[in-house]
Structure 1
Amino acid sequence: MEGGSGQYNPRTVEEVFKDFKSRRAGIIKALTTDVDDFYQQCDPEKENLCLYGFPNESWEVNLPAEEVPPELPEPALGINFARDGMQEKDWICLVAVHSDAWLLAVAFYFGARFGFDKNDRRRLFSMINELPTIFEVVTGMAKRPVKEKSTGTNSSSKSKAGGKMRSSEVQMKMLKTPPPKDEDDEDDEEDEDEHGDTLCGACGENYASDEFWICCDICEKWFHGKCVKITPARAEHIKQYKCPSCTSNKRARS
């Protein structure tokens, strides 16, 4: 198994961090955009299953490695057994927390194996800590609060729009259509900075003005169009967009 073999061994801080980000991206994909497939694969009738994230940003639900001790630290064992004993959202959050712990274990396993000193370990953790955890991405806690504006006649509308642009506004930014210039240009620049704090609910990466984004009308999380497989053309025909997680939760309740 790729997740448990010793064939891929990053040796520098940058390589370990790249490995961490790739495995993290695979697990986030399993718990967000691919959540229906992930849910089905975690059959409680099967043996102990683990969720693996791989360096190629893919994921897999599989049995743990047979060798003892394993070549790499193993993810949480038996995640499938808890699937039907709790709410789906709570179960996904539980898997996310254990996945965060596993990713740190793998990263610092590589650090120990290749003799990182305390400065290298500190630098590695600092780089990792700049990213939101998988739990924060899954629960939406990764989205930073937007500061309120208290001055000017447009304060109420600005604060309401801050960090939560509607789809039409995002499409305008994607097409790089400049807004009309007026005396509120400075406020617009501040809004742009605030949008930069918004994180994708699927991959956890920051907002970029040259990328198409779409907001879920149910949970109000923002997503890269490419992460949820929505194009600008398709978005024009969607009256109410529901992200994969909200769609899955609705099916589970029905």
Structure 2
Amino acid sequence: MDGGAQSQCSSRTVEEVFRDFKGRRGAIVKALTTDNEDFFQQCDPEKENLCLYGLPNEQWEVNLPAEEVPPEIPEPALGINFARDGMQEKDWLALVAVHSDAWLLSVAFYFGARFGFDKADRKRLFNMINDLPTLFEVVTGTAKKQIKDKSEAPNHSSNSSKLNSKGRGSEFQAKYSLGLQAKDEEGGLDEEDDEEHGDTLCGACGENYASDEFWICCDICERWFHGKCVKITPARAEHIKHYKCPSCSNKRARP
């Protein structure tokens, strides 16, 4: 198991290492959110020490650690499967997220050291990484709460915006997420609402809202998702009265 290290031998710049980091991070976000049911099943406590690997191509896998010592790149936390049935699932996922955060940083700065980054490059790499929410924040919803607390104002624009989104359902989500500005008489969005949602994070990948991307809101957990992350198109959203994200759907389906 090389964790995709061979494909990273050409990485020499801060941007390339950060691209590697984002790919691995995106993979683990999927494992712990939209693919959490599959991830849960693969982490069988009866198996040997298992690790969660995020690959640069945004694919994840649960596998045994590398046999060579020292390994090509730092290894993720060992034995994540052993605690799976010994704690609440959400707490277990949060624990895996914390260890995965540490692993992602160790891999990024391993490449930084290997490729001779100086103090300025290391600082720039850390700042680029630090602009993204941690896996723990994405999995636990902490990042969303921080943004909500920060954006709250006396006029309660946050609450009124949520009411508007709920009232108009999927049609509102599709139009809002595509960045379309409806007319005032149609109850459209004002600039204040647009700025507020500009800091919203996708519940799947943890990336920020962008006005040219389609988003949809889960009616159960009220988290927003990129349409592409949950495989929902604008056309399909128009026919959905009450949307449930993959995590909420899996929780209801599991006995």
If the length of structure 2 is used for normalisation, what is the TM-score?
Answer: 0.88
1:247 aligned to which of 225, 246, 249: 249
- The structure 2 residue matched to 1:238, chosen from 225, 237, 240, is 240
2:203 aligns with one of 201, 204, 209: 201
For residue 85 of structure 1, give the secondary structure of its aligned residue in structure 2.
coil
Q: What residue in structure 2 maps to residue 137 of structure 1?
A: 138
More helix by share: 2
Q: Do structure 1's residue 159 and structure 2's residue 158 form an aligned pair?
A: yes
CA distance in 2, matches of 1:176, 1:44: 46
The unaligned stretches of length 5 or more in structure 2 are: none
Cα distance in structure 2, aligned partners of 1:111 and 1:76: 21
Letter of the structure 1 residue corresponding to residue 68 of structure 2? E
Contact 1:163 1:198 in 2 (8 A): no
* Contact 1:163/1:195, CA 8 A, preserved across alignment: no
Superposed displacement of residue 4, structure 1: 5.9
Secondary structure of residue in 1 paired with 2:49: coil
Q: After TM superposition, list the pairs within 5 Å mapping 1:1-254 onto structure 2.
A: 1-3=1-3, 5-9=5-9, 10-143=11-144, 144-145=147-148, 147-150=151-154, 155=155, 158-162=157-161, 165-166=165-166, 167-174=170-177, 177-181=180-184, 188-252=190-254, 254=255
For residues 38-75 of structure 1, the C-alpha deviation after alignment (integer angstroms, 9 at most, x for no partner) is 11111111111100011111111000000011110000
Structure 1 residues 103 and 175 mapped into 2: Cα distance closer, same or farther (>3 Å)?
closer
- Structure 2: how far apart are the matches of 1:70 and 1:180? 59
Say if 1:28 and 1:134, in contact at 8 Å, map to a contact too. yes
Does structure 2 retain, via aligned residues, the 8 Å contact 1:174–1:212? Answer: yes
Listed as ranges, the gaps of 5+ residues in structure 1 are none
Does the C-alpha gap of structure 1 residues 149 and 4 become closer, same or farther in structure 2, counting only changes over 3 Å?
closer
Matches of 1:70 and 1:2, distance apart in 2: 8
Report the CA distance shift for 1:13/1:159 in structure 2 as closer, same or farther (over 3 A): closer
Q: Letter of the aligned partner of 2:205 in structure 1?
A: C
Please state how far the C-alpha of 1:14 moved relative to its aligned partner: 0.9
Q: Do 1:173 and 1:210's aligned partners in 2 also have CA atoms closer than 8 Å? A: no
SS of the aligned residue for 2:31 comes to helix
**SS of equivalent residue, structure 1 residue 89:** helix
Q: Distance in 2 between matches of 1:239 and 1:108?
A: 46
* Aligned-partner Cα distance in 2 for 1:205–1:175: 16
CA distance in structure 1 between the aligned counterparts of 2:162 and 2:99, rounded to whole angstroms: 30
Distance change >3 Å, CA 195–CA 57, structure 1 → 2: same
Q: Is the 8 A contact 2:217 2:225 kept in 1?
A: yes
For the 8 Å contact 2:177–2:216, the answer to whether it is kept is no
Quote the offset at 1:6 in angstroms: 4.0
**For 1:219 and 1:62, how far apart are their aligned partners in 2?**
31
Deviation at 1:238, TM superposition (A): 2.7
Q: Is the 8 A contact 2:174 2:237 kept in 1?
A: no
Name the CA shift for 1:136/1:163 in 2 (closer, same or farther; >3 Å).
farther
Work out the number of aligned pairs and report it.
246
Q: Is the 8 A contact 1:17 1:124 kept in 2?
A: yes
TM-score, normalised to structure 1, is 0.89
